[in-house]
């Protein structure tokens, strides 16, 4: 048993190394005083300083924030309704429509929304990106909320009804507070997915709007510079902070989403 | 209408409406687009037109599908993408399995942390994870330098790592690994350890215990993970775009090219349709196998 578990540990450590070493390299080079991601020359914060003077990058970050907040607010509302409806009622179409955008390759959602927006004559830009992000975030929120509802003690709602609460009161005063951690976790997940999304944004952005991932993509396509490392490191920090908050609020949420 | 039905519609209506308008309708428009003519300046030609005698003409065609089936180039690209996705799925399985076993058999206190450590990189931006490999595999990198120094000892010339199919597969495995670990873990966690003890008591060695108890029981997890890795890997375009160079392109790159560069939307829609059918078909197959494996277990 011990020889066997030692072997298992070795493989697992290699597995974790494979997962984390590349990200660690990105972070380390963001502090390297050299244009090349090669030899370690010395410590610098220059790349971060440069980042905060890069107008295009700041504009992209602002757009990402705007899109992330709008998309997560709307998709949390609609996703919570969807999750609740799927839990409470027997539905056929909604569960399919909730899961389908998550299940098919992202590029398909991207191109079909591109055709759709052009067909309805909507100028591609912030609005089209927000509409697209809401569409793919609803499913994730719905799944998290539904999971939270499944773990709820149904007799509490029944007790409230027996004591004379209307269905709406029972929802507002009993169900909603109980599922709130799930709703907030879903909102944070939607926000993270939105500010991280590249593929669907790439097809629905047109020439009108630049987001952080689009900006990173353009930079990486042209040349690999430590400025990309710096923005990546910051983005990782933001995501990490959101994850920590989400997991505090709803321990099961991360697993439901991943 | 009873109040219960009214409630159902009030609650499920708004999200349903949103998903119909912004998911189902666009998908149907894409299906229709695959039967339409390309526009003169890209995009789509008008669906309905006045003919020469003023009559209404509906412009639909099968030409786009004919083009797909008559030029072997596209079928070959699908086959190539299929193999990239298969190799990725197998490599993910090989790497994820020991990780999932370790997490499932570790002490309850450590389990959540170990699992979180697998999921965490998945939450960092997708492009950053791909970019990391551009650094590692790039010609200036310490890793590539060391590898090539090693090769030189054996008389090989320097080997290029970035912009090759090899780089694409590494990127694909790296990005999709958590999708394999999670369902495997979820399955392995439920195994009754008594089964392994029983097998051992009956004289099975470690190798036999794995192949005749653990692995067959984990098949539903294996199929679920395979579907979660295979489908996104099959249709991806950003990884081959950044890591693959010209030799490593996949079907996703051609779809992107048809929509954004050559702007032949009908043909792009045909490629998207084929991708959907193949991906969803294979996922359905995996789900069916998983259910059968579960029924037998």
- Residue B277 · residue B232 · CB < 8 Å: no
Of B96, B127, B140, the CB nearest to A37: B140
pTM, two decimal places: 0.86
Q: Nearest Cα to A85, choosing from A123, A158, A141?
A: A141
Q: What is the mean pLDDT of chain A?
A: 86
Is residue A1 over pLDDT 70?
A: no
- Residue B48 · residue B58 · CB < 8 Å: yes
| pLDDT, tens digit, 9 for 90 and up, residues A23-57 | 998 888 888 888 777 777 788 888 888 888 888 88
Sort out which chain A residues have CB atoms less than 8 A from B82's CB and list them: none
Of B27, B131, B235, the CB nearest to A105: B235
Sort out which chain B residues have CB atoms less than 8 A from A84's CB and list them: 11
**Separation between Cα atoms, residue B16 and residue A100, nearest integer Å:** 13
Report the share of chain A in percent with pLDDT over 70.
Answer: 95
Confidence of residue A4 (pLDDT cuts 50, 70, 90): low
Q: Nearest Cα to A146, choosing from A72, A101, A81, A71?
A: A81
A223-228 average pLDDT score: 79
Give whole-number Cα distances, A10 to A13, B120, B129, in Å.
5, 20, 24
- Residue A32 · residue A44 · CB < 8 Å: yes
**Separation between Cα atoms, residue B176 and residue A126, nearest integer Å:** 29
Consecutive sets of 10 residues in chain B, 297 residues long: mean pLDDT of each?
Answer: 77 93 94 89 79 80 89 90 93 91 83 84 85 86 79 78 89 91 87 86 85 86 87 89 86 91 91 89 79 69
Looking up tokens 């590898």 gives: B147
Tell me which of B9, B24, B26, B182 to substitute to probe the interface with A (most A C-beta atoms closer than 10 Å).
Answer: B26
The pLDDT of residue B267 is 93
Domains and CATH numbers, chain B: 13-61 (no CATH), 71-296 (1.10.3720.10)
Q: If you write DSSP's letter for every residue of A58-75 in order, what string do you get? A: HHHHHHHHHHHHHHHHHH
- Per-residue HEC secondary structure of B255-267 comes to HHHHHHHCCEHHH
- Residue B214 · residue B295 · CB < 8 Å: no
- Residue A137 · residue A164 · CB < 8 Å: no
- Residue A215 · residue A158 · CB < 8 Å: no
Q: Nearest Cα to B166, choosing from B133, B188, B126?
A: B133
Classify the C-alpha dihedral A210-A213-A219-A220 as positive or negative: negative
- Residue B236 · residue B30 · CB < 8 Å: no
The pLDDT of residue A258 is 34
Nearest chain B residue to A168, by CA: B7
Separation of first and last alpha carbons in chain A: 32
The pLDDT of residue B157 is 73
Query: From the centroid of its chain, how far is CA A80?
Result: 16
The pLDDT of residue A2 is 56
Reading phi first (left if > 0) and then psi (alpha if -120 to 50, else beta), residue A114 is in alpha
**Separation between Cα atoms, residue B44 and residue B42, nearest integer Å:** 6
Task: Write the DSSP symbol of residue A52.
Answer: T
- Residue B276 · residue B204 · CB < 8 Å: no
The pLDDT of residue B274 is 92
Contact A101 B23 (CB under 8 A): yes
**Separation between Cα atoms, residue B50 and residue A115, nearest integer Å:** 23
B170 touches chain A (CB under 8 A): no
| pLDDT, tens digit, 9 for 90 and up, residues A131-153 | 999 999 999 999 889 888 888 88
The pLDDT of residue A192 is 86
């Amino acid at each position: 048993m011990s020889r066997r578990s030692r072997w298992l540990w070795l493989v697992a450590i290699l597995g974790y190394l494979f997962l984390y070493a590349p990200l660690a390299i990105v972070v380390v080079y963001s502090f390297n005083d050299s244009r090349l991601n090669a030899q370690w020359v010395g410590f610098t914060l220059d790349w971060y300083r440069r980042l905060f003077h890069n107008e295009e990058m700041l504009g992209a970050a602002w757009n990402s924030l705007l899109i992330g907040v709008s998309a997560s607010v709307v998709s949390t509302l609609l996703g919570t309704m969807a999750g609740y409806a799927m839990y409470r009622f027997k539905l056929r179409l909604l569960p399919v429509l909730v899961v389908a955008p998550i299940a098919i390759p992202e590029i398909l959602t991207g191109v079909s929304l591109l055709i759709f927006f052009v067909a309805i004559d909507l100028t591609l830009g912030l609005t089209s990106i927000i509409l697209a992000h809401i569409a793919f975030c609803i499913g994730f929120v719905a799944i998290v909320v539904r999971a939270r509802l499944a773990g709820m003690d149904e007799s509490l709602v029944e007790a409230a009804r027996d004591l004379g609460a209307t269905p709406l009161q029972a929802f507002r005063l009993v169900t909603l507070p109980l599922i709130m951690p799930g709703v907030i976790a879903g909102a944070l997940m939607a926000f993270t997915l939105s500010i991280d999304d590249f593929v669907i944004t790439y097809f629905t952005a047109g020439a009108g709007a630049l987001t952080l991932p689009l900006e990173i993509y353009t930079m990486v396509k042209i040349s690999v510079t430590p400025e990309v490392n710096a923005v990546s490191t910051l983005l990782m920090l933001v995501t990490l902070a959101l994850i920590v908050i989400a997991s505090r609020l709803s321990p099961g949420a991360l697993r439901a989403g991943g | 209408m009873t109040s219960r039905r009214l409630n159902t519609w009030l609650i499920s209506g708004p999200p349903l409406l949103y998903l119909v308008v912004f998911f189902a309708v666009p998908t149907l428009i894409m299906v229709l687009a695959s039967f339409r003519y390309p526009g003169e300046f890209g995009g789509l030609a008008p669906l309905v037109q006045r003919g020469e005698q003023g009559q209404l003409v509906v412009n639909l065609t099968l030409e786009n599908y004919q083009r797909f089936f008559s030029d072997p180039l596209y079928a070959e690209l699908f086959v190539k993408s299929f193999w990239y996705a298969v190799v990725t799925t197998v490599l993910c399985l090989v790497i994820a399995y020991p990780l999932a076993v370790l997490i499932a058999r570790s002490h309850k206190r450590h389990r959540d942390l170990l699992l979180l450590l697998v999921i965490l990189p998945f939450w960092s931006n997708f492009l950053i994870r791909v970019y990391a490999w551009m650094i590692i595999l790039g010609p200036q990198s310490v890793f590539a330098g060391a590898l090539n120094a090693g090769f030189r000892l054996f008389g090989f010339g320097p080997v290029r790592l970035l912009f090759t199919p090899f780089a694409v597969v590494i990127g694909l495995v790296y990005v999709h690994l958590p999708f394999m670990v999670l369902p495997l873990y979820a399955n392995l966690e439920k195994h009754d350890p008594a089964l392994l003890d029983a097998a051992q008591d009956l004289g099975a060695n470690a190798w036999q215990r794995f192949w005749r108890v653990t692995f067959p029981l984990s098949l539903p997890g294996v199929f679920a993970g395979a579907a979660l890795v295979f489908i996104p890997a099959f249709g991806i375009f950003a990884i081959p775009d950044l890591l693959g160079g010209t030799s490593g392109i996949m079907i996703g790159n051609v779809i992107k090219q048809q929509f954004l560069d050559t702007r032949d939307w009908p043909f792009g829609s045909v490629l998207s349709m084929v991708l959907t059918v193949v991906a969803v078909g294979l996922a359905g197959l995996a789900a069916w196998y998983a259910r059968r494996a579960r029924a037998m277990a």
